[in-house]
Chains A and B, each alone.
Chain A
Amino acid sequence: MISVAVQYFAILREQRGLAQEKIATTAGTAEALYDELKQRHGFTLPAARIRAAVNDEFVSAAAPLREGDRIVFIPPVAGG
């Protein structure tokens, strides 16, 4: 079990009802953690449409998570 900080933006922030939280998880990768949270909070976007960032850098879905990581799940972007 590791403890990580998750930050939410846009549609995920609204669906979660908060902007950040500490989570204790056994998920080994960013994608596994997203699936766990999706299940728990009813996120509508499938993992395939989410990118992950760890400690303010993009990572692959299979990137391993470590104690104390700051994780952001990035829904499809729409700037401009």
Chain B
Amino acid sequence: MFRLSAESFDPAALQRTLGDQRAGACVTFEGWVRDRNEGQPVGSLEYEAYGPLAVKEGERILAEAHGKFPILGAVCIHRVGHLQLGDLAVWVGVTAEHRGAAFDACRYIIDEAKARVPIWKKEHYASGDTAWINCATKGEHAGAEAPPPA
């Protein structure tokens, strides 16, 4: 299940939805709002999503994870809206019989989601400036000129 959430959510409750007596491993990843990016102090973040396609692409990534790794369950939830420092921005949970597959699939899901799901992040800096990450063009704030993911 891939979902977008406009409200904060409880990871413990999500993890319980993955409960499975066949599972010997549950790996979770939490992405938090950090106070700096590329050396710039960050005050808050806004996430915006193209909802219908974000959910489709997210579901495709979860289906790919099921195809590539022997896992039992996989869930990813991404926040949208204005988030404050320390807020939970994204949560991934994967269950499997054994830990190797759960770790690998969790990593796969978060890496692919960051690279492919149509969600955008705007950073609000302590200076009062803002920037859409990865969208800078020549002459704009260098901190937003992150290289594409490998």
Smallest Cβ distance from B72 to chain A, in angstroms?
A: 24
Smallest Cβ distance from B109 to chain A, in angstroms?
A: 10
Q: Are A10 and B122 in contact (CB under 8 A)?
A: yes
B117 at the interface (CB under 8 A from A): yes
Question: When each residue 19-61 of chain A gets 1 if its CB lies under 8 Å from chain B and 0 otherwise, what string results?
Answer: 0000000000000000000000000111000000100111000
Q: Are A56 and B53 in contact (CB under 8 A)?
A: yes
Q: A residues within 8 A CB of B137?
A: 44-46
Interface size on B, residues (CB 8 A): 31
Count A-B pairs with CB separation below 8 Å: 79
Question: When each residue 107-147 of chain B gets 1 if its CB lies under 8 Å from chain A and 0 otherwise, what string results?
Answer: 00010011111111110000000001111010010000010
Smallest Cβ distance from B13 to chain A, in angstroms?
A: 21
Q: B residues within 8 A CB of A46?
A: 137
A17 at the interface (CB under 8 A from B): no
Assuming the contacts A75-B120, A79-B121, asked whether A10 and B132 have C-beta atoms less than 8 A apart, the reply is yes
| Size bracket of the A interface | 20 to 34
Q: A residues within 8 A CB of B118?
A: 9, 53, 72, 74, 77
Q: Are A79 and B117 in contact (CB under 8 A)?
A: yes
Q: B residues within 8 A CB of A57?
A: 53, 56
A78 at the interface (CB under 8 A from B): yes
Q: B residues within 8 A CB of A79?
A: 47, 49, 78, 90, 113-114, 117, 119-121
